[in-house]
Structure 1
Amino acid sequence: MLVHRNLSWRAILHYTWKSLLYYFLLALFVYLVHDHYEVAYLSMPFNTVTALSTALAIFLGFKNNNAYDRWWEGRKIWGLLVNYSRAWAREVITMIMPEDEQDTAAVRDLQQRMVYRHIAFVHALRVFLKKKHSYNETDQEEIYEEANDYKDTEAFLMASEYKAFCHKNNPPNFLLELQGEDLQRAFRRGWISDYRFVKLEETLVEFNNIQGRSERIKNTPFPRQYSFFSRVFVFIHASLLPFAFIHEMGLATIPVSFIISFVFLALDMVGERTEDPFENRLEDVPLTALSLTIETNLKEQWGDKNFPAKPKNKEGIVL
């Protein structure tokens, strides 16, 4: 997630240089042909581009509003995960109680296993959502964190659990199943009453809901017709600008058309790079930072002071 008010021009040019080069060369070509060869028919009515600019601005505004809604929903979902994770640790620690003193050690072991398994669930869900698909960009490795494997979960799971976990099609869901099985065993041993069992199970269901809502955003892309036609319309608009300005502005056509084209290109890219919040890019919801926050909070609740290192703010980016 971008946290600085000022963006890096290096990153901006990384994604826009090809289009900007096209805008500049086209404007230069139109100027040279019109001025040096006096080809009058290259000029076109300015009102034509004005109408297109208005329509394109409305279209991009609609697209960007809906793209931001998807990003904000993703952030709210993970905000809920932070809240319910803290509640889960508190409930496990306070609601699971031994019937007699000889079960105290076993209960403490179960509580620790369930708290730490949830930390593994959070990290697993992060990696599961960040996995790249075939339609993702191939050049983002230069700037962004790679979607790593599930190694971050190993320290929080038993060896047998981790071995089975790595071979599951949906590893986060597998961990929730294990949590449910432990709850059932604790209930049978009398460590949880009926009411407390229901409350703990309701929290587990909320984790299922959070995962499902995240997967819905991940697996249902923003309608591709919006992305496709916005790129087409921005390209057409930028291609027509020099022809609309050349008759009246002459040499000034080059910088003016270049700047206006860049504005519409930027608007288009803002929406395009916001619409999918779990694609492991610099504009995405900071899943790594949120996962480490949850890990720190739950360890503190359990009494473990071995907190993870805080995520680094690299060039105004928090992953």
Structure 2
Amino acid sequence: MVAFLEIEYWKLSDQSHVKNITIMHGVLSFVISLLLVFRTNTAYDRWWEGRKHWGALVNNSRNLAIKLSSMLTNDADRNFFKQAIPTYALMLQKHLNDESTEHQLDEDYVIPIKHDHHRPNQVAKILIQKVTDLYKEKKITGDQLITLNPELQSFTDICGACERIKNTPIPFSYSSFIKKFIFFYVMTLPFGYVFSLGYYVIPVVVFIFYVLASLELIAEEIEDPFGDDANDLPTRKIAANIKKHVGEIL
């Protein structure tokens, strides 16, 4: 519409001051580039930090299972941890994804989950209580108890770090400003570039809008990495791998 008005209706000449509006776009292009780079980098940092924490959960679950496999001789105790360690990853995945579920270990062991309470904390408490009971029953020594403590403590540390990512989104005013900036930047592009591009300004402006808006949408997509979208972290698959690996070890 702008191209039609300037070319066919208003018939503006090359001497029109409207042509100089491109100076504004040249100045603001650097600003919008900085904003979008910061926006996408911040969103990716959140996604990558979440992936690092879930990677640490995988490693710590394996390490805990390896230590327990060398310490425990009772099959019932080994079977408990074989089921309980993966349960923490499963509960953390559902906690971060706001899912509700009831999970049974097997016919012999049942972890009662209260859905109005913090689910990962309940599983962590049961794990630590079981290790403490093993020490009281003299199935493990005090030194072994100290050896197991870092992995047990790391579960809650990882949960807290993931909650910090999930519960601290990018400030709304910041993301809202970028959207408004992109909108007004693109909407004013045709006024100046019609003089040099004519009707070709239509596909050019559409392409520019596609690039700028896509960067913003990509940032929105990955800034919360714990959902079920295609670009979110595969936490469900990671939890399943933890169950598989711990089962092989124990």
Task: Answer yes or no: same fold by TM over 0.5.
Answer: yes
- Structure 1 residues 50 and 68: alpha-carbon distance in aligned structure 2, compared to 1, 3 A threshold: same
Residue 168 (structure 1) shift:
4.5
Residue deviations 1:80-109, cap 9 Å, x none?
011011111111221234xxxxxxxxx211
Cα deviation, residue 158, structure 1: 5.9
Residues 205 and 157 of structure 1, relative CA distance in 2, 3 Å threshold: farther
Range moving further from structure 2, 277-286 or 122-131: 277-286
**Alignment of structure 1 residues 177-196 onto 2, 5 Å:** 177-196=125-144
Equivalent of 1:92 in 63, 68, 84: 68
Equivalent residue runs for 1:9-88 within 5 Å: 29-38=1-10, 40=12, 43-45=18-20, 46-88=22-64
The letter for the 2-side match of 1:264 is L
Query: Which amino acid in structure 1 is aligned with residue 149 of structure 2?
Result: E
- Gaps (5+ residues) in structure 2? none
Match of 1:10 in 2: none
Instruction: Quote how far apart the aligned CAs of 1:34 are.
Output: 2.0
Are positions 1:116 and 2:88 aligned together? no
Q: 2:96 matched to 1:129?
A: yes
Unpaired runs of 5+ residues, structure 1, are 1-28, 98-106, 132-147, 303-319
Q: Against the structure 1 CA distance between its residues 195 and 168, is the aligned structure 2 distance closer, same or farther, given a 3 Å change threshold?
A: farther
Kept after mapping to 2: 8 A contact 1:237/1:261: no
CA separation in 2, counterparts of 1:199 and 1:80? Answer: 17
Give the fraction of aligned pairs with identical amino acids, expressed as a percent: 28
Q: 3-state SS of the aligned residue for 1:150?
A: coil
Q: Kindly tell me the number of residue pairs found equivalent between the two proteins.
A: 246
Q: Which residue identity does 2:175 align to in structure 1?
A: S
**1:220 has 2:161 as partner:** no
Task: Give the whole-Å Cα distance in 1 for the aligned partners of 2:170 and 2:224.
Answer: 7
CA distance in 2, matches of 1:279, 1:226: 22
CA gap 1:95/1:54 in 2 versus in 1, 3 angstroms: same
Compared CA separation, residues 116 and 160, structure 1 to 2 (3 A): closer
In 2, Cα distance between the equivalents of 1:225 and 1:69? 20
Task: Call closer, same or farther: CA 1:207–1:36 in 2, change over 3 Å.
Answer: same
Higher mean C-alpha displacement, 286-295 vs 31-40: 31-40
Q: Identify if the C-alpha distance between structure 1 residues 196 and 170 changes in structure 2 by more than 3 Å, giving closer, same or farther.
A: same
Indicate if the aligned counterparts of 1:35 and 1:250 stay in contact, CA closer than 8 A: yes
Shift of 1:32: 2.1
- Superimposed CA distance per residue, residues 270-310 of structure 1 (whole angstroms, 9 cap, x where no aligned partner): 222222211332211111121111111112212xxxxxxxx
CA deviation after TM superposition for structure 1 residue 160, in Å: 7.5
Moved over 4 A (4+): 157-160
**SS in structure 2 of the partner of residue 273 of structure 1:** helix
Q: Is the 8 A contact 2:18 2:191 kept in 1?
A: yes
CA distance in 2, matches of 1:42, 1:128: 58
1:215 offset after TM fit, Å? 0.8
Residue among 241, 265, 290 paired with 2:189: 241
Q: TM-score, normalised by structure 1?
A: 0.72
